[in-house]
Amino acid sequence: DDISRIRNFSIIAHIDHGKSTLADRLILATGGLSEREMTHGQVLDNMEIEQERGITIKAQTVRLNWKAADGETYELNLMDTPGHVDFAYEVSRSLAACEGALLVVDAAQGVEAQTLANVYQSIEHDHEIVPVINKIDLPAADPEGVKQEIEEIIGLDASQAVLASAKSGIGIPDILQAIVDRIPPPKGDRTAPLKAMLVDSWYDPYLGVVILVRVIEGVLKKGQQVKFMAAGTTHLVDRVGCMRPKIEQLPELAAGEIGFITAQIKEVAETRVGDTITDAKRPTATALPGFKEVQPVVFCGLFPVDAADFEKLRESLYKLRLNDASFSFETESSAALGFGFRCGFLGLLHLEIIQERLTREYDLDLITTAPSVVYRMHLTRSKKDATSGGRSFETGLRRGSVPPQDEREGESGSGGQIIELHNPADMPDPNRIEMIEEPWISATIYTPDEYLGAILKLCQDRRGIQKGLTYVGSGSHQRAQLTYELPLNEVVFDFYDRLKSISRGYASFDYEQIGHREGDLVKMSILVNEELVDALSMITHRGTAEARGRGMCERLKELIPRHLFKIPIQAAIGGKVIARETISAMRKDVTAKCYGGDATRKRKLLEKQKKGKAKMREYGNVSIPQEAFIAALRMG
């Protein structure tokens, strides 16, 4: 195979701009699948939840053969990339395996926040970027306006942008020809010792762990002994191939090519994304620049509603982790919720996806505690510290373990101890805390002007610091570009949902972490009938604690059904109550009162109550429905 006829590219696009539809079209045009196979929907999004949510979670790759205008057949390797901020790291490693990218922009929507984040990453990788203006079939399409935006906002020459409709198949051959003409072929010496990048890996029930590789130099063959340089392990390659998108076995993958291998590996956790794969007997002199461990940023507790489901939950978490080493879990016990797991996620969407899969695929009823970010607690020096010894832990998320809640040590400025707190329930005694730091993000928001006021207020209410406000685009495409620094703590609850609802879906949002900053933070507890509901404890800023506490009490008042006695609901910081509501006692014969003589309705109500019982939790003799926990955590 001639390396000059290989093209490796990815597609970058904002969510819903048509990336998956276009990928499917390219596969169809090059004969990878028939029209009938295509009608089963987007082939690159292969998980059920991905299809329903329309989000590409796992980067996939597919090889296309295409006869270009010069009569030669080219090997085009397309890497699909996820479109959501939570999975930015998966985008970055896929981009590292390519020489170019198609930048897909919706002709009616224009450039969005996520487009930008990904395109900048692509530019950092020195990619040749081919702009594709998609959905030109829409009546609202404004290709000229969008071209202007691409030039103005991104600074790319858009005069050669390809106009396309992935849905109706317009512009597809032009896109393929542009890939051949404009994206450079890879470079690499096939006679050099093997050097390949581990781009991704996933668990396949038939093949075991499948590893996606980009060969940089040398040749990767079936039967070869290879070494994973960072992991320090050796494996025998038992399959080499590519996806078209159906799996096809090949004798080898040579310099410049993208494909997969299997090597009798049992768990995804044994592979590290970004690792260098080399020949065990004739190793390459230098490894690739390396890889980044992905770190969970949002934590929450997951508890089975039925305590008997604990082992089932554990097994389900193990199964999910086989294919997603980026989330972590460890056992946690709570006075009221019993045994469960403390789990770490890349972001809120990631949390929701895992939670949904547990509920849907594994049929588990779960209680989720308030999501929390990782706080850094600087403790004052105490006698206890001097004797507690130097336990230290590896993060090692890909190894299958997680750091204990708050045992990771460091030195604070004054010589005291620094611990990382993943669970509000483990908050140390406030007297021992010298200072608390919380993670901050830099957020970029694009919005039509009419929603700007409401969005500014939202950011302000969430302790945001405005860093910039400019206008981009023109005419009907003009939008405000807003940059804000925000505490991540204020974003994890429902910022994204709120942003979408106040902008009627028009605002787009992207963020990156910018480190920890000191904050005046306190732990707020919720008491129901004088009893602490640990699942609802949260760490919050002192300035917003009262409003949050009041909101929480008000919501719980609505969510907790009346009982035969009066129920006080309180929010407290330390011993001090900052908000209070009371649920009044229920009249004894509620059914008779409400429904008079209607026997069927009465029976239905009683049945409903009985059913509901199974999903209730008892706190101080008060039954709290499972939905109340989740609903209470959604800030209004």
Tell me how far, at minimum, the Cβ of 129 lies from ligand GTP, in Å: 17
SS3 category, 89 = helix
Euclidean distance between CA atoms 172 and 110, whole angstroms: 20
Tell me: does residue 167 bind ligand GTP (CB under 6 A).
Answer: yes
**DSSP label at residue 170:** B
Q: Which stretch binds ligand GTP (CB under 6 A): 13-21, 420-428, 464-472, 605-613?
A: 13-21
Tell me: does residue 10 bind ligand GTP (CB under 6 A).
Answer: no
Q: How far apart are the first and last CA of the chain?
A: 60
Euclidean distance between CA atoms 529 and 457, whole angstroms: 35
**DSSP label at residue 234:** E
SS3 category, 228 = strand
State phi, psi for 8 to the nearest 5 degrees. -115, 120
**DSSP label at residue 210:** E
Q: Which stretch binds ligand GTP (CB under 6 A): 10-18, 449-457, 502-510, 522-530?
A: 10-18
Q: Which is nearer to ligand GTP, 10 or 56 (CB)?
A: 56
Q: Which is nearer to ligand GTP, 20 or 61 (CB)?
A: 20
Q: Is 8 marked as binding a ligand?
A: no
Binding mask 56-95 for ligand GTP (x = CB under 6 A): x--------------------------x------------
Tell me: does residue 38 bind ligand GTP (CB under 6 A).
Answer: no
Q: Which is nearer to ligand GTP, 121 or 165 (CB)?
A: 165
DSSP structure string for 339-402: EEEEEEESSHHHHHHHHHHHHHTS---EEEPPPB--EEEEEPP-HHHHHH--------GGGT--
Q: Where are the beta strands (DSSP E) in 176-280?
A: 195-204, 208-217, 219-221, 225-228, 233-236, 239-243, 247-249, 252-254, 258-262, 276-279
**DSSP label at residue 632:** H
Work out whether strand 338-345 and strand 366-368 pair parallel, antiparallel, or are unpaired: unpaired
Could you say which of 27, 55, 178, 263 contacts ligand GTP (CB under 6 A)?
55
SS3 category, 288 = coil
Tell me: does residue 166 bind ligand GTP (CB under 6 A).
Answer: yes
Tell me: does residue 165 bind ligand GTP (CB under 6 A).
Answer: yes
Tell me how far, at minimum, the Cβ of 101 lies from ligand GTP, in Å: 14
Tell me how far, at minimum, the Cβ of 56 lies from ligand GTP, in Å: 4
Q: Give the other-Cβ count within 10 Å of 574's Cβ.
A: 11
Q: Name the region of 249 (left: φ>0; alpha: ψ -120 to 50; beta: rest).
A: beta
Tell me: does residue 145 bind ligand GTP (CB under 6 A).
Answer: no
Q: Which is nearer to ligand GTP, 138 or 590 (CB)?
A: 138
Q: Is 589 marked as binding a ligand?
A: no
**Do 3 and 256 meet the contact criterion of CB atoms below 8 Å apart?**
yes
Range 456-478 burial, b when 16+ CB lie within 10 A, else e: bebbeebbbeeeeeeebbeeebe
Could you say which of 6, 8, 9, 17 contacts ligand GTP (CB under 6 A)?
17
Binding mask 101-140 for ligand GTP (x = CB under 6 A): ---------------------------------xx-xx--
Which residue is nearest to ligand GTP, using beta carbons?
Answer: 83
Q: Which stretch binds ligand GTP (CB under 6 A): 19-27, 144-152, 402-410, 463-471?
A: 19-27
Tell me how far, at minimum, the Cβ of 222 lies from ligand GTP, in Å: 33
Tell me how far, at minimum, the Cβ of 54 lies from ligand GTP, in Å: 4
**Do 271 and 201 meet the contact criterion of CB atoms below 8 Å apart?**
yes
Tell me: does residue 19 bind ligand GTP (CB under 6 A).
Answer: yes
Q: Which stretch binds ligand GTP (CB under 6 A): 159-167, 350-358, 375-383, 465-473?
A: 159-167
Q: Which stretch binds ligand GTP (CB under 6 A): 49-57, 185-193, 199-207, 324-332?
A: 49-57
Tell me how far, at minimum, the Cβ of 108 lies from ligand GTP, in Å: 8
Q: List residues near ligand GTP by CB under 6 A.
A: 13, 15-21, 54-56, 83, 134-135, 137-138, 165-167
- Residues that constitute the known binding site for GTP: 16-21, 134-137
